[in-house]
Amino acid sequence: MTRPSLAVDLAGIRLKNPVLAASGTFGAGREASGFVDIARLGGLITKSMTLEPWKGKPTPRMCETPSGMLNAIGIQNRGVAHFISEDLPWLVRRKATVIASIAGNTVDEFAGVAARLAAAGGGIAGVEVNISCPNLEDRDNMFAHSEAATARVVSEVKRALPAVPLFAKLSPNVTSVGDIAAAAVAAGADGLSLINTVLGMAIDVNTRRPKLAGTVGGLSGPAIRPIAVRAVHEVHRAHPGVPIIGQGGISSAADALEMILAGATAVAVGTANFINPRSALEVAGGLSELMASHGAATVAELVGAVELVG
């Protein structure tokens, strides 16, 4: 049998393989480029950028938990202007496939970032709208917790930046991720990113203080993979035509295949990049072998191919 093809069509973006680096775990590629040729990645979803630079949260911002980690970084970033002037030209020179992740505290801020990216005139293959970061000031009003707020952000970003596919990054911390997904798609999302981190908290029992200065944070890593698989499965069943970037705890080819079988068209490796910045490439390599053992010639034929019993 011929070697399986890893190429996928993700909402119109041609990816050489379906394994991307997840937002917030790969910067804008520079730091990891000492370890890996970023042109060989399926794609790179940038650290979320905001209209103005954000300072982020106080430290400690991170703690390890069983099979995972909690973070409350607060999207420290140098702003969209810095991305456009410094990072984007570098990424283009390195021939990376770039999905720009954008964030904001208001709908206008999201739209402003999108407008700047549109005015930059190319270089990005897509945009991921991070409406689900659990570390913003107004955690109780996370956009991705409300169908109406999700729809407002998505439609305004789409209006400002119509040229590239838009992926709405959704939160698992909701009663029905399917309902939020429906609102995002109706508002113009071309695809969905599932999932962002799971809200969590850890306490130092000696000091009785939270281990994060932000008190609560986002849980990531292998600990959350079953939550992500479930969310991808549910949303894919409800919206089979909507491409999904499945993410949450993927660190091996088998993890990636699991996410694809649940319904993901592509996957993103996140926390595993912290341990091994070559993770995404290694997952892609392993996926090719796994596909061969499944007798699959293309990734597409495995998407949502979980065989449910009963």
Which residue numbers are catalytic? 133
In the bound state with other proteins, the residue whose beta carbon lies nearer, of 230 and 278, is 278
Q: For other proteins, which residue of 32, 102, 260, 264 counts as binding (CB under 8 A)?
A: 32
Please give the Cα distance from 272 to 193 (Å, whole number). 17
* 56 CB-near residues (< 8 Å, 6+ apart): 73, 74, 75, 76, 77
Give the shortest CB-41-to-other proteins separation in angstroms.
14
Residue 104 binds other proteins (CB under 8 A): no
In the bound state with other proteins, the residue whose beta carbon lies nearer, of 18 and 277, is 277
Site for other proteins in 242-261 (CB under 8 A): none
Please give the Cα distance from 29 to 21 (Å, whole number). 9
CA 253 to chain centroid, in Å, comes to: 17
Give the residue ranges of DSSP H helices in the chain: 79-82, 88-93, 107-120, 147-160, 177-186, 225-238, 253-262, 272-275, 279-293
Asked whether 45 and 280 are in contact (CB, 8 A), the reply is no
Q: For other proteins, which residue of 5, 105, 276, 288 counts as binding (CB under 8 A)?
A: 276
In the bound state with other proteins, the residue whose beta carbon lies nearer, of 5 and 252, is 252
For 205, the token pair is 């029992």
Q: For other proteins, which residue of 5, 39, 238, 274 counts as binding (CB under 8 A)?
A: 274
Axis-axis angle for helices 177-186, 225-238 (nearest 10): 50
Q: For other proteins, which residue of 7, 149, 213, 216 counts as binding (CB under 8 A)?
A: 213
Place of tokens 């496939």: 97
Segment lying near other proteins (by CB under 8 A), choices 100-108, 112-120, 275-283, 289-297: 275-283
Burial class (CB in 10 A: 0-12, 13-18, 19+), 95: exposed
Count residues binding other proteins (CB under 8 A): 42
Site for other proteins in 46-85 (CB under 8 A): 47, 52-64, 66-69, 71, 73, 76, 78-79
Rg from Cα positions in the chain? 18
- In the DSSP assignment, the letter for residue 4 is P
Give the shortest CB-278-to-other proteins separation in angstroms.
7
Element (H, E) at 199: strand 198-201
Q: For other proteins, which residue of 26, 83, 110, 167 counts as binding (CB under 8 A)?
A: 26
Q: For other proteins, which residue of 42, 248, 277, 304 counts as binding (CB under 8 A)?
A: 277
* The residue type at 208: R
Per-residue interface string for the shown chain with other proteins, residues 125-164, x marking contact by CB under 8 A:
----------------------------------------
Give the shortest CB-74-to-other proteins separation in angstroms.
9
Asked whether 297 and 2 are in contact (CB, 8 A), the reply is yes
Residues that bind other proteins (CB under 8 A): 24-27, 31-35, 47, 52-64, 66-69, 71, 73, 76, 78-79, 213, 221-222, 271, 273-278
